[in-house]
Structure 1
């Protein structure tokens, strides 16, 4: 649990940790999605380990198990286990196998937490690493955190050189397209702010989910961090499921979502228009030039969207940007990082007291 926080505090230099405490005074809820297919001998141990996870800033744990049409008795195992932990666990049993990406989509729709993370059921990833993945949200205002198997960590099983080489090649090509500098694009351990992940349409039914989501969060200009994690990879004889042709699918997915801007769910009102306006630099410049003679050195911009006008008008003595859309606010906060003259605050036109601090 995080320490108590007095939201009436008026400290001039607020940290990401201050914002976290104000948003989640009793700790956030971490939703863990566990897609599982034919893992009857491992899944119970994995769920036991998950229940022991604790982390600063996290008050509750929610576990969503998505059984993807298992045929080896996994369904009965997870249902029996969840029945003894019904306050924290739910099981979604799919009638047929549709793939990891499809299972993750079902899990996302069922989550109710503030953060969402993906957890494979095969014990290759250690749930105790989840605590380290939470910290960038608490301390650095992260939107997304990847757990990297190739960053320096305490331990990693040596296994399959060609598999590792293929992963590094895919990561290199993904970085080339997305302009990121990730070390492990194919990692299972990906943690997101829930409103962000729920606002992104996901089309991949298989392992291509990893490439698709990376391309989209890059285009959404999310604040992405990596943390080193341990990795206990298993051999194909032990049940490893990914195959060489999944690499070819990944390459196709990179090209597809490099060319196509499919970044917002249909129910995300107005965001498609905002994303298009973000590209109209000349129009934004013209509008800013028209406004500039009429504004002073202290500015409060309401409904700032993705910051198109804000970019044209800063720096100023003080510039406060606000928007009613939580995803837009998160995006604006990323832009404001390390800019002392720029603040992002939630201002509600229907709540007069929200103007008091400005």
Structure 2
């Protein structure tokens, strides 16, 4: 089935200062095969001016297909993704963080294996390929590789970057999953559950990474790493549905 529309799911929490930059980048991308873009923003009860920034952007860019949803309570990134995924109407969807760590120009790299008929799911890996990568946290890198290896042990996949933001899914396929994790446990949970879909075709492509420091707004911490281990064991080893 040809792809006519890509849903871009953007969870946002306290990104009022930069969200217009990422929306401009999404707007400027021309997708291969004239695929159209549906942008779904989910504001997870930000305490800054995120809502005002988004609504102002929408008013100034009425030519863009932007759908905006706001949580009444802060529920976590995973919960924002659940909302966005449930609202997607494109044949495929991709997750895009509201910060500037990932480059929407690479949507076409993610789409290529799907458009050519090889893939149902595509992960964008920060640890393969020759694209630009900001040099930052050694122990984050070690932790990420440990979590990916642990996840691979139970999913029998050979991913290099399970924790990546850039994941592209067949929309109906991911909407059929029961996703429970409301915070940063989303990544290991969705990886474990998508790996069990019969005849699933998962690909991985190299992407660039413009990481942020904590002073610049990075939110994930060591507690999220322990939660990821718990989720890998729960959904991977124990196979909780």
Structure 1 residue 84 displacement after superposition: 3.1
DSSP 3-state at the match of 2:36: strand
Aligned residue in 1 for 2:69: 92
CA distance in structure 1 between the aligned counterparts of 2:57 and 2:213, rounded to whole angstroms: 27
CA distance in structure 2 between the aligned counterparts of 1:204 and 1:78, rounded to whole angstroms: 26
Structure 1 residue 58 displacement after superposition: 4.4
CA distance in structure 2 between the aligned counterparts of 1:227 and 1:58, rounded to whole angstroms: 21
Number of equivalenced pairs: 238
Correspondence for 1:113 among 90, 112, 134: 90
Aligned residue in 1 for 2:137: 160
DSSP 3-state at the match of 2:147: helix
CA distance in structure 2 between the aligned counterparts of 1:47 and 1:65, rounded to whole angstroms: 10
Aligned residue in 2 for 1:223: 201
CA distance in structure 1 between the aligned counterparts of 2:229 and 2:173, rounded to whole angstroms: 25
Aligned residue in 1 for 2:228: 250
RMSD between aligned residues: 1.2
Structure 1 residue 137 displacement after superposition: 0.2
DSSP 3-state at the match of 1:64: strand
CA distance in structure 1 between the aligned counterparts of 2:167 and 2:228, rounded to whole angstroms: 17
Matches within 5 A, 1:274-285: none
CA distance in structure 2 between the aligned counterparts of 1:58 and 1:220, rounded to whole angstroms: 29
CA distance in structure 1 between the aligned counterparts of 2:148 and 2:121, rounded to whole angstroms: 17
- Residues 222-254 of structure 1, C-alpha deviation per residue, up to 9 Å, x if partnerless? 100000000000111111000001011011101
Runs of at least 5 residues in structure 2 that lack an aligned partner in the other structure:
none
Aligned residue in 1 for 2:218: 240
Structure 1 residue 38 displacement after superposition: 0.3
CA distance in structure 1 between the aligned counterparts of 2:40 and 2:176, rounded to whole angstroms: 19
Aligned residue in 2 for 1:122: 99
- Structure 1: 4+ residue segments shifted above 6 A: none
* Cα pair 2:234 2:240 within 8 Å, conserved: no
Aligned residue in 2 for 1:37: 13
- Residues 268-301 of structure 1, C-alpha deviation per residue, up to 9 Å, x if partnerless? xxxxxxxxxxxxxxxxxxxxxxxxxxxxxxxxxx
CA distance in structure 2 between the aligned counterparts of 1:58 and 1:149, rounded to whole angstroms: 27
* Cα pair 1:28 1:115 within 8 Å, conserved: no
Aligned residue in 1 for 2:239: 260
- Residues 61-90 of structure 1, C-alpha deviation per residue, up to 9 Å, x if partnerless? 000010110111111100111233345101
DSSP 3-state at the match of 1:164: helix
Structure 1 residue 56 displacement after superposition: 1.7
Structure 1 residue 260 displacement after superposition: 3.0
Q: Which has the larger radius of gyration?
A: 1
CA distance in structure 2 between the aligned counterparts of 1:79 and 1:40, rounded to whole angstroms: 11
With a CA cutoff of 8 Å and minimum separation of 6, indicate the structure with the bigger relative contact order. 2
Aligned residue in 2 for 1:64: 40
Structure 1 residue 162 displacement after superposition: 0.3
Aligned residue in 1 for 2:155: 178
